Chain A
Amino acid sequence: MNIRKYNGCVDSCCISYFPILGGINTMTKNPYITMKNMKKSFNGVLVLKNVTLQIEKGEIHALLGENGAGKSTLMNILGGVHQPDNGSIYINDKEVKMANPRISQEQGISFIHQELNMVSDLKVYENMFLGSELRNKVGFLKVEEMCQQTHEILAKLGVDIDPKEYVRNLATSYKQLIEISKALLHKSTVIIMDEPTTSLAEHEVNRLFELMKNLKKSGISIIYISHKLKEIKEVCDRYTVLRDGEMIKSGIVEQEDLDTITKLMVGKSISQNRFVHEHSFGPVMLEVNNLTSPGLFKNIHFKVKKGEIVGFTGLAGDGRTELFESLFGYRKKYTGEIKINDQLIKIDHPRKAVEAGIGLVPKDRKENAIIKDLSVIHNMSLSSIGNFERSGFLQENVEREKFQYYKELLNIKVHNPHITIDKLSGGNQQKVIIAKWLEVGADILIFDNPTQGIDVGAKQEIYQQIVALAEQGKSVIILSSEAPEVMRICHTINVMYQGEITARFNGEEAAEEEIMHYATGSKREAAKIG
């Protein structure tokens, strides 16, 4: 089967590579791929510190670690997306440079991202052959041949999809299968799967696992990134744990139990002090009962008292962002009751939430929080513009004075507040957004991923300010996928898994390993949280 026909001559030099590869008999003790002494830093922050990863031929290798441990960076280096500062990659003891994703693909590496890269308005076979279409001498597409080859590969995987079906009509799990088929089409020898099961139902997960085991038998190596330790136990042969950009341990999955692996991921050094000081809380400010939005979250109950900091943590896609976007009125399709100060209210627009005293510092600051064409001052005053009006006209001098106050209060570093906000550093932008909600006079402040894209020093400052706000009587809700973050600043910690609160801890008593168990679904609290 001669599938690798390219449009241009650029790639022709690599075509001969694969027949050679097929002839080599790899021993299990000989690693097929070695990433040696990988170092990588972004903006002066060392993300990978001397990591070495070895993958054998025909194994499923679990790559483990918390968010920010360096897994994605490592895989992006293998996939040719990032270039390492130091270190080298060997395939079969031959050094290769992954200068770009194309080269990586030619070396037999396929990266199946969490968000699938498919063109939904093209047909299945068109997606399979995208960028490497088969053409006849005149230059027309050989549609039938492409369909035939697509059909053969899909049949090999035991999937019954019409190659001429549009991708948009397929369920997510099938799209994933097509990604895998594409990898087979390109004769990949290594497939990287980044959290492939997050959007799959249980029977689909089982089918995926069957498939992975079959691929393994045919000599394909799979690098499997997942937080779900139960799955790793079920399907993986070996594992490597990364923590803070370092390789902690590599070993055989069967020889370890879940607890040990969790401990390795988390590390013993939770030496970072808790920021929050215990103080007595006021009355219940916010009470949420039975909040449900189909497909996003269900049966959510919780209370937040005056002066309390409540954390919500879990894996990506656990529904916490959607939950609080609903509570804030940005999403409207939900049922259940929200009480503020014991008053039942209906929130169907952010304006209503603000009137009820809720403020939201959203995640992905650039997309959701800052207005990049407005000045720093105007971003601060945007949600409470009534405070700066006199008989319908804006009082810019009042705005300026008010900003000066917040600048000192929150230690915002800006020389000229009339410049547009996008010129500020991430930490200072975040402070301006906090100032915006303080100016509104919000009593309940929701922070979604408050330290995203903020350097370490500024992180501490944001934590201190959040704690100070609680001490002044604000009710604070922190959403974060980083368990240590909520552990440092929260009085109460809720753990979410697939749209439900699976555990609730007192901030002092919570252990990161316990949180991880509930967040990954390997443990569920028997008693209903209410």
Chain B
Amino acid sequence: MQPARKGRPLKLANTNVKEYNPQVSNAKSRLTWLWSEYSVIIAFIIIFIASSIMNPRFLDINNQLNILMQVSIIGIVALGMTVVMLSGGIDLSVGSVLALVGVMTVLALNASGSILIGIFTALVVGSFAGFLNGLMVAKGRIASFIATLGMMAAARSIALYIAEGGSVSGEVNGFTAIANNDLWIFDYPVIIFFVMTALVYILMHKTRFGRYVYALGSNEKAAMLSAIRVDRIKIAVYSLAGLLVSVAAIIETSRLNSISSSSSGVQYELDAIAAVIIGGTRMTGGRGKIIGTLFGVLILGILNNMMNLMNVSPYLQGFVKGLIIIIAVVFQKRE
């Protein structure tokens, strides 16, 4: 690119630039920087080490793989949630949409007998629900909390209606392979989760879409005045979240070859939001990292796993999770 086309350099009298030099910063401020940038990773390492000391079974490779398997579905949902929250919104409909997508997928699967058509249906239904969310938020100017709350109720209701309140099961051989086969030691869901993480990471940090989402979440008016088509980006953000929900729904359905219209996906939105918040994404948008969400998901997974290993009553597990979320937010405020 030839810079010269834009104009000639201006020579100005006062060129003795006095600036802040980060190289001379002392160890303490470097430590603060390290903490503020990577606090979630540091927290992860602390929790990991603490867990391995507290229970020797924790480090067992099968247990580790089990944790990964258990977090993969919420992890994929949380990736989409991260993007939505970076844009300054929130998506409460993910759990219900997951159930709806699951039901529709099984119906399409059974009707066509083709796994491909089943997957295709899932992706279309999920991203269409997300698209509707985006439309309400961007064009209808409805607060995302309200719009997706409406979608949460509506999607669950349709799923219940179609499945008549019960579960639907797949009748096509091979569909269960998606969630239950493995490659070397990794289950497919874990691989899918990591691939999705990598893709969303690239999307958010290496493409204009990601840049625009950060800009929009940080300052919507300035983004608009920078000639960004804010409405389109918002619609794309919610559609992407819906698409990721359908990937999660495919895994969820394939795992037991069935989906429950009443209990599948319940409270997934809370777990996903918790992972995103623990991962350091700011509630109001504009700041946060995909990598943070990955570690947020892993922290939640380890906590669940440890509570099971240590025979903590399942009724108390929600309490611990709630505590962790609040502590994470308190630490964020400190910055």
Interface residues of A (CB under 8 A from B): 328, 330, 349-351, 353-354, 360, 362, 367-374, 378, 382-383, 385-387, 389, 392-394, 398, 401-402, 405, 408-411, 413-416, 436, 438-441, 457, 461, 464-465, 468-469, 472
A-B contact pairs, 28 of them (CB 8 A): A350-B224, A350-B227, A351-B227, A351-B229, A360-B225, A362-B222, A367-B221, A367-B222, A372-B286, A373-B218, A373-B286, A374-B218, A378-B211, A383-B226, A385-B212, A393-B207, A398-B1, A401-B1, A402-B1, A405-B3, A409-B7, A436-B226, A438-B6, A438-B7, A468-B7, A468-B8, A468-B10, A472-B7
* Alpha-carbon gap, A371 to B219, bound state (A): 6
* Alpha-carbon gap, A368 to B219, bound state (A): 8
**Given contacts A371-B223, A416-B22, is CB(A387)–CB(B9) below 8 Å?**
no
Contact of B15 among A367, A405, A409, A411 (CB under 8 A): A411
User: Which residue of B has the minimal Cβ distance to A410?
Assistant: B10
Q: Given A349-B229, A372-B218, A468-B8, 5 other A-B contacts at CB below 8 A?
A: A374-B218, A392-B207, A409-B6, A410-B10, A468-B10
For residue B228, CB closer than 8 A to chain A, the reply is yes
A-facing residues in B191-225 (Cβ within 8 Å): 202, 206-208, 211-212, 214-215, 217-219, 221-225
* Alpha-carbon gap, A278 to B3, bound state (A): 27
Contact of A370 among B6, B7, B202, B219 (CB under 8 A): B219
Whether the pair A371, B224 counts as a contact (CB closer than 8 A) is no
Whether the pair B12, A461 counts as a contact (CB closer than 8 A) is yes
Q: Mark B5-30, 1 if CB is under 8 A from A, else 0.
A: 01111101011010111100000000
* Residues in B neighbouring A416, C-beta threshold 8 A: 22
Q: Mark B321-335, 1 if CB is under 8 A from A, else 0.
A: 000000000000000
Whether the pair A411, B12 counts as a contact (CB closer than 8 A) is yes
Whether the pair B10, A465 counts as a contact (CB closer than 8 A) is yes
* Alpha-carbon gap, A180 to B219, bound state (A): 37
User: Which residue of B has the minimal Cβ distance to A408?
Assistant: B9
* Residues in B neighbouring A393, C-beta threshold 8 A: 202, 206-207
* Alpha-carbon gap, A378 to B218, bound state (A): 13
* Alpha-carbon gap, A472 to B4, bound state (A): 12
Contact of A394 among B10, B208, B215, B227 (CB under 8 A): B208
Contact of A385 among B1, B6, B10, B208 (CB under 8 A): B208
Chain B interface, number of residues (Cβ within 8 angstroms):
37
Contact of A350 among B17, B211, B225 (CB under 8 A): B225
Whether the pair B7, A394 counts as a contact (CB closer than 8 A) is no
For residue B255, CB closer than 8 A to chain A, the reply is no
Interface residues of B (CB under 8 A from A): 1, 3, 6-10, 12, 14-15, 17, 19-22, 202, 206-208, 211-212, 214-215, 217-219, 221-229, 286-287
Whether the pair B12, A464 counts as a contact (CB closer than 8 A) is yes
User: Which residue of B has the minimal Cβ distance to A389?
Assistant: B208
**Given contacts A408-B9, A410-B10, A464-B12, is CB(A369)–CB(B225) below 8 Å?**
yes
**Given contacts A368-B221, A416-B22, A457-B14, is CB(A350)–CB(B226) below 8 Å?**
yes
* Residues in B neighbouring A392, C-beta threshold 8 A: 207
* Alpha-carbon gap, A385 to B227, bound state (A): 11
Whether the pair A409, B10 counts as a contact (CB closer than 8 A) is yes
* Alpha-carbon gap, A44 to B238, bound state (A): 48
* Residues in A neighbouring B212, C-beta threshold 8 A: 385
Contact of B211 among A382, A409, A457 (CB under 8 A): A382
* Residues in B neighbouring A441, C-beta threshold 8 A: 6
User: Which residue of A has the minimal Cβ distance to B224?
Assistant: A350
The distance from the CB of B108 to the nearest CB of chain A, in whole angstroms, is 31
User: Which residue of A has the minimal Cβ distance to B5?
Assistant: A441
User: Which residue of A has the minimal Cβ distance to B14?
Assistant: A457
* Alpha-carbon gap, A461 to B22, bound state (A): 27
Contact of A371 among B21, B202, B215, B227 (CB under 8 A): B215
* Alpha-carbon gap, A293 to B87, bound state (A): 32
* Residues in B neighbouring A350, C-beta threshold 8 A: 224-228
* Residues in A neighbouring B222, C-beta threshold 8 A: 362, 367-371
* Alpha-carbon gap, A468 to B217, bound state (A): 35
User: Which residue of A has the minimal Cβ distance to B221?
Assistant: A368
* Residues in A neighbouring B6, C-beta threshold 8 A: 405, 409, 438-439, 441
* Residues in A neighbouring B287, C-beta threshold 8 A: 373
* Residues in B neighbouring A440, C-beta threshold 8 A: 227
* Alpha-carbon gap, A411 to B217, bound state (A): 30
The distance from the CB of A492 to the nearest CB of chain B, in whole angstroms, is 22
* Residues in B neighbouring A438, C-beta threshold 8 A: 6-7
**Given contacts A392-B207, A461-B12, is CB(A374)–CB(B215) below 8 Å?**
yes
Q: Closest 6 A-B residue pairs measured CB to CB?
A: A373-B218, A415-B19, A354-B227, A405-B3, A373-B286, A350-B227
* Alpha-carbon gap, A252 to B228, bound state (A): 55
Whether the pair A472, B8 counts as a contact (CB closer than 8 A) is yes
* Residues in A neighbouring B17, C-beta threshold 8 A: 413
Whether the pair A414, B19 counts as a contact (CB closer than 8 A) is yes
**Among B8, B9, B208, B222, which residue has the most Cβ atoms of chain A within 10 A?**
B222
* Alpha-carbon gap, A374 to B21, bound state (A): 20
The distance from the CB of B290 to the nearest CB of chain A, in whole angstroms, is 15
User: Which residue of A has the minimal Cβ distance to B215?
Assistant: A371
**Given contacts A368-B221, A382-B228, is CB(A394)–CB(B21) below 8 Å?**
no
